[in-house]
Amino acid sequence: MPETTVILDATAIQRALTRIAHEIAERNEVGDDVVLIGIPIGGDHLAARLAKVLAGIWNHAVPVGILDVNMHRDDLDQRAAPTIHPTVIPFDVTGKTVVLVDDVLFSGRTTRAAMDALNDFGRPKKIQLAVLIDRGHRDLPIRADFVGKNAPTALDEKISLRLTEAGAAQDEALLLKP
C-alpha cells in the first residue's frame, strides 16, 4: 500500500490561491489585460478559482481559458496516447498578459508544451506561470512566477490534487509514496 500524506488541506489550498491572486494583482498593476489560462486536469479549475479572487480585487471579470497541451508534448510516442481535453480560449491572447495555471510543476515539460500551444492562438505580450505546488526535479530551464507551496519530493513519489469541482469530497493535495 502506498503511504499517503496530506500536503495541503482545503483551507491551505484556498489560502494559497488567495495569496497567488494577490501576487498576480501586485505584479500586474493594470489588471485590464491579464487573462488566465488553466491546463487540464486540475489547472483549469484552479484558474477559475483564481479568476474569482482576482475579480474581487480588480472589480472586473477576468477572462479564463482552458488549454490542452497534449498535442504539443514531446513524449507522445513514449507513453500511451493521452486523453485530450477540450481547449476553450474564448478571447484573443495577442497583446495580453497570459497567466498559465497548472496544479503541479514537475519536469517543466507541460509548461513548455503549453507555451508552444499558446503560440498557435496568438502572440501574448507576456506569459507568467502560476502553480499550486512546485515539487522540484526540473528537466528544463523553467520556473514559476507564482507558487502556492514548495514541496520537496523524491522522483518516484506522486502528487495527487483532488478538487471538489472534479467530484472529490473535499479539496486536498496528497503526496503518495510508493
Name the segment binding another protein (CB under 8 A); options: 7-15, 33-41, 67-75, 139-147. 67-75
User: 82 or 95: whose CB is closer to another protein?
Assistant: 82
- Nearest approach in angstroms of CB 66 to another protein is 11
Q: What Å distances lie between residue 176 and 35, 129, 133, CA to CA?
A: 33, 25, 14
- Nearest approach in angstroms of CB 110 to another protein is 15
* Binding status of residue 60 toward another protein by CB under 8 A: no
* Residue 118 near residue 93 (C-beta atoms within 8 A): yes
Cα angle 59, 46, 127 (rounded to 5 degrees) comes to 75
- Nearest approach in angstroms of CB 80 to another protein is 4
- Cell numbers found for residue 63: 477572462
Buried b / exposed e along 28-57 (16+ C-beta atoms within 10 A): beebeebbbbbbbebbbbbbbbbbebbeee
Helices (H), the chain: 10-27, 43-58, 109-119
- Cell numbers found for residue 82: 493521452
d(CA 63, CA 34): 8
* Binding status of residue 156 toward another protein by CB under 8 A: no
* Binding status of residue 109 toward another protein by CB under 8 A: no
* Binding status of residue 32 toward another protein by CB under 8 A: no
d(CA 150, CA 143): 12
* Binding status of residue 81 toward another protein by CB under 8 A: yes
- Nearest approach in angstroms of CB 166 to another protein is 17
Name the segment binding another protein (CB under 8 A); options: 6-14, 26-34, 58-66, 85-93. 85-93
User: 86 or 167: whose CB is closer to another protein?
Assistant: 86
User: 76 or 166: whose CB is closer to another protein?
Assistant: 76
* Binding status of residue 30 toward another protein by CB under 8 A: no
From the list 6, 61, 71, 168, which residue makes contact with another protein (rule: CB under 8 A)? 71
